[in-house]
Amino acid sequence: MTDQVMPTPEQVRAEIQAQVRDPELMMNIVDLGLVYNVEVTPAKSAEVTMTLTSPGCPAGPQIISDVQRTVHNAFPDLEEVNIHLVWTPFWNPDMMSDEAKDELGIF
């Protein structure tokens, strides 16, 4: 039996960035500043701490489901993908990458 190689937090974040988009803004959620932290534990779980643009975001359930599905598909050796939805700090446009700000015309 070979040892399973767990992904790094950076690899998990990169996969989310490449695959998960906010369906209203059509931008990836990492550049939007919605992913606050990613941890990979020895217990073979990915712990993703994230937020949404607002507590009433109608796309919230879809975005959360997309993150879970994307990470599970990309890293099948992970046994769990846990999403920790937080509201502190509350998201604001300053959290977006410069590229996302440029694309949305925020200066």
Which domains are delineated in the chain? Answer: 9-104 (3.30.300.130)
pLDDT tens for each residue of 56-94? 999 999 999 999 999 999 999 999 999 999 999 999 999
Cα separations in angstroms, 23 against 61, 63, 105: 11, 8, 18
Residue 95's nearest CA partner among 18, 37, 38, 55 is: 37
Q: By CB neighbour count within 10 A (0-12 exposed, 13-18 middle, 19+ buried), where does 51 fall?
A: buried
- Cα separation, 92 vs 58, in Å, equals 17
- Cα separation, 9 vs 37, in Å, equals 8
- Cα separation, 46 vs 66, in Å, equals 14
- Are 44 and 7 contacting, i.e. CB atoms less than 8 angstroms apart? no
Residues found in the chain: 107
pLDDT tens for each residue of 19-44? 999 999 899 999 999 999 999 999 99
Q: pTM of the predicted model, to two decimals?
A: 0.92
